[in-house]
Structure 1
Amino acid sequence: MRMLRPVRLHQALNRTVHTITLPDPDGRAVWAVETDIMEDHRARLYRDGQRTSMAKMPAGFTIPGGKIEVDAGLYGVTRVHLVTPDGQERRLAPAPGTLEYRRAVLTRDHPRLSRGIAVIAVVILLVNLVLAAPAWLEMVTSIPEVAERFGTFTSPVLLPGWLLATLTVAGVVAATERAVTWRHNRIVDAETIWTSL
C-alpha cells in the first residue's frame, strides 16, 4: 500500500494535496486527494495516509459521508469537493507545503498584500486578453494545417518578441495565482488558454 508523501518545495507548481477530516466508525479519518499535473491526469485518494484508490480526472471517490469530486485544468485543481448525500458541498483544505496552502497563509497573514497581488493578476490577464491573445491566435493560425481548416487571423496589434514573451510569462504567473486562490471569471480568464501554449 502506497503512503502519502509530503509536498516538497520543488513540487509546489505541479503537485497538490487537499484534505478533509470526517467522522468514522473508528473515530475520525483524514481523507486526502493528491494530483500531479506533470505526472498524469489522475487523482489519488488516501485514508489516513494510505492510498485507497486512483482514478482519471474528472474523478469521483465514494467515501463514508459522501463523494469527493476532483478535477484539474491547465493551471491546477479546479474542483476538489466533498458532496454529501443531501447535495451540500465542502471544499477540501490545501495541505501544508502546497502552493494553495502557502497562498492561503499569505492571505491570512497579509490581507492587503494578498488583495494587491490579486488585482495585479487581473490587470495582467486583461492586458494579455487585449494584446497577447491576438498575437498568439495569429501565430497558431499561421500553422498550415490550422490555416487550411480554420483560415488565418491577423492581429491588429504588432508586438515585439520580447514583449510577447514577457506577457506570456506574466500571464502564466497570473493564471496560476488565480487558480491557487480559486478565483475564476469567464472574461478575465478567457485568455489563459493562450498563455499555456
Structure 2
Amino acid sequence: MELKPASTPALQPFRWWEAFSRSLLHLYLRGPDGARQTWSVDVRHGGDTDGEVYAHFYRDGLHMARLKPPVLFPLPVGTIRIAVSTYGLRQADYVTHDGAVQPLVPDASSAEGLRAHLDRTRPGLSRLIGAASALVLLVSLALGVPQLLQSVTEFPPLAENIGTFASPILLPAWANTSLLLAGLAASTERALRLRYNWLLDGGLFSGGD
C-alpha cells in the first residue's frame, strides 16, 4: 500500500468532460465514534502521470492511499474491492467481516451515476438498453470469432500443420468496423453498470477472469 504525504491534493470534484475517463464512487460509514465517514474511490482510466491505472482512496476528501487494481482495501469493519476492465470498472463494492456485500455509490455527476439515475427513474428503458448491449455483444461474438479463427489459421506455420479453418461468415470491412464500434459501445455501457462477463466483455482475449 502506498500512503501519500499530507501535501497530496484533496479529492477533486467530478467534471463533465471526465465522463468516460474517470470513475468516482463513494461509501458512507460510521466511524468508531459514531461520526459519519465518506470513503471515496477515484480511478483515472487513462492512467496517472506514469501511465499506470491506480485506485485512489480518500476519507472525507483526504487522500489515504494509491493502489493498483485489482485491489482489496481494508477498513476497520470490512474491505473495499476494486477491479477494472478494458472498458471501465468491473467491480466496486464493500464486503463486511460477516460477508455482507454493499455496492459503492457512484458520484451523481459521473457517467456511472447518470446511468444509475436512469435505472432508478426509467427502469423499463434501462432494462431495454441493458438487453440491447448484451445482444450486441453476443452477435459480435458469433460473427467475429469464426472470421478471427480463419485469419489465425491462415498464418503459414499453422496452415501447414493443422490446415485452414474456413469461416462460414465473411463480412465486408465496413460491417466488421461497425460491429467493433457497436461492441465497444455495448461493453462501455455494461461497465457503467459494473456488469462484466469474461466472455462477452473481452476477458477471453485479455486474460480476465
TM class, shorter-length? 0.7 to 0.9
The 10-residue stretch of structure 1 (167-176 or 2-11) with the greater mean CA deviation from structure 2 = 2-11
Deviation at 1:7, TM superposition (A): 2.2
Which residue number corresponds to residue 31 of structure 1? 39
1:147–1:93 CA distance, 2 compared to 1 (3 A) = farther
Determine which of 17, 20, 29 is the counterpart of 1:10: 17
> What is the count of residue pairs matched by the alignment?
194
Question: Are 1:19 and 2:31 counterparts?
Answer: no
Q: Take 2:119 and 2:103, find their aligned partners in 1: how far apart are those partners? A: 17
- Offset at residue 62 of structure 1 (A): 1.6
Instruction: Find the counterpart in structure 2 of residue 80 from structure 1.
Output: 92
The one-letter amino acid of 1:38's match is: G
Q: How does 1:1-197 map to 2 (within 5 A)?
A: 1-25=8-32, 27-39=35-47, 40-139=52-151, 153-185=165-197, 189=200
SS at match of 1:131: helix
Instruction: Give RMSD over aligned pairs.
Output: 2.9
2: distance between equivalents of 1:145 and 1:37?
38
Which range moved further: 98-107 or 162-171? 98-107
Change (3 A) 1:186 1:41: closer
Structure number with bigger Rg: 2
Determine the C-alpha separation between the residues in 1 that align with 2:86 and 2:146: 20
What is the percentage of aligned positions where both structures have the same residue? 37
What do the CA deviations read for 1:11-63 (whole angstroms, capped 9, x no partner)?
A: 21121011011101451110001112211221110011111101111112122
What are the Cα deviations for residues 88-133 of structure 1, in whole angstroms up to 9, with x where unaligned? 2211111122111111111112122212211211221111011123
Please list every run of 5 or more consecutive structure 1 residues that lacks an aligned counterpart in the other structure: none
Q: Take 1:165 and 1:7, find their aligned partners in 2: how far apart are those partners?
A: 32
5+ unaligned residues in a row in structure 2: which ranges? 1-7
**Structure 1 letter corresponding to 2:45:** I
Report if the CA contact (8 A) 1:171-1:192 is conserved: no
